[in-house]
Amino acid sequence: MQTMQKMLTGNQDYVRKHPVATKRAMRAILKATDFCVSNPAGAARRMVDGGFTDRYDYALQTLKDVPFNRWRDYDPEDTIRFYALRLREVGMIKSTLNRILAEGTDWRFFNELEREMKG
């Protein structure tokens, strides 16, 4: 089984000062993700029309192969926990898992959007 994790990051000061804009950006990203799942042909066409690629066939195949809809299946905190532990094991980060979760995550927007976008 192929899995893919997605992560959004934001500047802490910006997120604090602009919560409405932050939530709107997150909503747009999640809706775009859902669009890629529900209409891969349309998403591939938009990629070509937007100049992101010249190859409709490659874009369409990629959209069909990547499990975009998995964002609804995974617990984001478990994802952070998994990758933070792996990065710490190889020495890429020094922070503890508890510190990363306490100081580096804010699930409010995600939780609100997940409830709003149920389906």
Percent of the chain beyond pLDDT 70?
90
**Mean per-residue pLDDT of the chain:** 86
For every residue of 21-54, DSSP letters joined together read HHHHHHHHHHHHHHHHHH-HHHHHHHHHHTTS-S
Q: Encoding tokens for residue 103?
A: 């100081």
CB-based contact 27:19 (threshold 8 Å): no
- Convert the pLDDT of each residue in 1-54 to its tens digit: 333 445 678 888 998 999 999 999 999 988 888 899 899 999 999 999 999 999
